[in-house]
């Protein structure tokens, strides 16, 4: 598919090479006056809400990804382009064994970036259809720490450092990795007019555009909690399918069926449920905002599975406070206890993930009962609507096959939009696909104006559709 074609909005052309993050870099003396008795108003370049006054430090796991100047630049590792990464030089000499092992395994493809001005791949290859241009040599600088306390933000390539000043309130570039002919080290900017903001643009490896880890692509997670399994776990990407198949094989052998695989459960019914979120003070937008999800019933009749689309990293960035959990409000709930560290990142409201949550309810009636228990302005749900139910008519509908359909879908349509691609449009697509119905629509009339049925995304191998 071409970016200018029918499905062009599905591709993240502005994030070629991996997911992009912006980190606020505050000066080393940003809180010196606070520590000496001054008030929070004396903080330099850091909003007060991001400062821990009790412990006198930057609050961890905040959306601005704030980091102190000294900590940031001492965590940079230099990778010389074209050299053996095992012999790469470091900026600070602080790397540990884990970092050295990680960087030894890097290759150019892991941090491939594109120069949009020249339309040239920075490692020598040109974009399809363009004339061959001269290879641009440069070093790469990798942030090797844990950024702002987020376990999922490690080993990020530094792309750019930019700043604002009192005289120039727009972002100006101080250092860029793809415009650095003298191969200068990145530094903290200085301005005679006074700095007001400094930030670093960082990029994850290329595989991060399609999954949480390199070996398990697909922004799909599947949670099985204490209500449905003895050992709660969160699986993600293609490893979901591998683990389900492994467990069926082990279960078959455990019951004396040598080399025979236990049959996989099949999806028997699908439902759409929509609701508003309970908030303390509803605004007009809150009254128009409905979340929709699919509820799957299985032929084993033991439990159901909620399937929903939401912001990418919405659970990892919010301590896994999922409305479908019985123990959601516990300080450390059952999901966050088993959440993989690579999935703990700030959420991105322009990108999507798909969530499968196994729940205790065995059927629709029981799950609606759970929602009723948590309905109210001071609870979780408001105005619960059950709008669609149908038998699953899809021939191939085992647990593993459902997981593969979801991976196909999210890899073809990774973006999130309040009007065009959201939880309601996904629920309509998914239920229409499983039930074999062509007239399933998003719940709210506002989401129907620009809705385009995309059930074909589920069926086809997503890796065979490339962005050129």
Give the pLDDT of residue 129: 41
Instruction: Provide φ and ψ at 225, rounded to 5°.
Output: -105, -175
85 class by beta-carbon count within 10 Å (0-12 exposed, 13-18 middle, 19+ buried): middle
pLDDT of residue 282: 84
The predicted pLDDT at position 253 comes to 72
Within the chain, which residues score under 50 in pLDDT?
A: 1-15, 83-94, 108-135, 137, 468
Instruction: Report helix, strand and coil shares of the chain as percent, to nearest 5.
Output: 25, 25, 45
* pTM listed for this prediction: 0.85
Q: Cα dihedral sign for 55, 61, 65, 70?
A: positive
What is the model's pLDDT at position 117? 36
Q: What is the pLDDT of residue 148?
A: 98
pLDDT tens digits along 339-380: 999 999 999 999 999 999 999 999 999 999 999 999 999 999
Cα angle, residue 351 at apex, residues 232 and 438 outer, rounded to 5°: 90
> Which residues, including other chains, have CB under 8 Å from residue 61's CB and lie 6 or more apart?
148, 149, 150, 317, 344, 346
Q: How far apart are CA 434 and CA 268, in angstroms?
A: 9
Per-residue model confidence (pLDDT) at position 284: 86
pLDDT of residue 105: 55
Write out pLDDT tens, residues 92-118.
444 555 555 555 555 544 444 333 333
Angle at 95 between CA 157 and CA 337, to 5 degrees: 75
Under 8 Å CB-to-CB from 68, ≥6 apart: which residues? 25, 26, 27, 28, 30, 58
Q: Quick one: pLDDT at residue 123?
A: 33
Closest by alpha carbon to 199, among 9, 21, 75, 462? 21
Give per-residue pLDDT as tens, 260-289: 778 899 999 999 999 999 998 888 888 889
């Amino acid at each position: 598919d071409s970016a200018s074609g029918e499905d062009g909005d599905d591709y993240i052309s502005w994030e070629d090479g991996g997911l992009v993050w912006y980190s606020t870099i505050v000066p080393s003396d940003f809180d010196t006056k606070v520590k000496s008795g001054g008030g929070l108003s004396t903080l330099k370049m850091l909003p007060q809400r991001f400062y821990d006054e009790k412990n006198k430090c930057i609050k961890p796991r905040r959306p601005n990804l704030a980091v102190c100047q000294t900590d940031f630049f001492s965590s940079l590792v230099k990778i010389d382009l074209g050299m053996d990464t095992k012999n790469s030089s470091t900026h600070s000499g602080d790397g540990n064994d884990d970092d050295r092992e990680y960087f030894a395994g890097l290759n150019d493809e892991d941090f491939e970036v594109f120069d949009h001005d020249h339309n040239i791949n920075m490692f020598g290859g040109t974009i399809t259809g363009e004339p061959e241009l001269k290879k641009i040599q440069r070093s790469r600088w990798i942030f090797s720490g844990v950024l702002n306390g987020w376990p999922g933000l490690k080993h990020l390539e530094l792309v750019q450092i930019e700043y604002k000043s009192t005289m120039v309130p727009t972002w100006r570039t101080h250092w860029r990795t793809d415009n650095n002919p003298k191969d200068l080290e990145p530094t903290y900017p200085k301005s005679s007019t006074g700095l007001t903001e400094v930030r670093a643009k960082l990029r994850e490896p290329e595989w991060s555009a399609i999954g949480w880890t390199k070996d398990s692509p697909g922004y799909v997670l599947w949670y099985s909690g204490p209500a449905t399994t003895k050992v709660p776990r969160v699986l993600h990407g293609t490893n979901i399918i591998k683990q389900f198949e492994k467990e069926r094989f082990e279960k078959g052998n455990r019951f004396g069926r040598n080399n025979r695989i236990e049959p996989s459960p099949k999806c028997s019914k699908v439902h759409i449920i929509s609701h508003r979120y309970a908030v303390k003070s509803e605004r007009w937008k809150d009254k128009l905002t409905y979340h929709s999800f699919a509820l799957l019933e299985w032929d084993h009749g033991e439990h159901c599975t909620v399937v929903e689309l939401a912001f990418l990293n919405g659970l990892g960035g919010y301590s896994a406070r999922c409305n479908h959990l019985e123990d959601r409000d516990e300080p450390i709930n059952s999901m966050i206890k088993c959440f993989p560290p690579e999935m703990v990142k700030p959420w991105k409201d322009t990108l999507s993930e798909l969530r499968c949550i196994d729940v205790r309810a065995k059927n629709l009636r029981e799950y609606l009962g759970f929602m009723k228990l948590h309905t109210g302005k001071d609870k979780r749900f408001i105005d619960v609507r059950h709008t669609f139910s149908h038998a699953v008519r899809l021939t191939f509908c085992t647990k593993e096959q459902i997981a593969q359909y979801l991976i196909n879908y999210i890899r073809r349509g990774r973006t999130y939009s309040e009007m065009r691609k959201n939880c309601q449009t996904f629920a309509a697509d998914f239920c229409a696909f499983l039930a074999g119905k062509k007239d399933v629509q998003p719940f709210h009339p506002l989401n129907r104006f620009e809705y385009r049925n995309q059930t074909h995304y589920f069926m086809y191998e997503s890796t065979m559709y490339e962005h050129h």
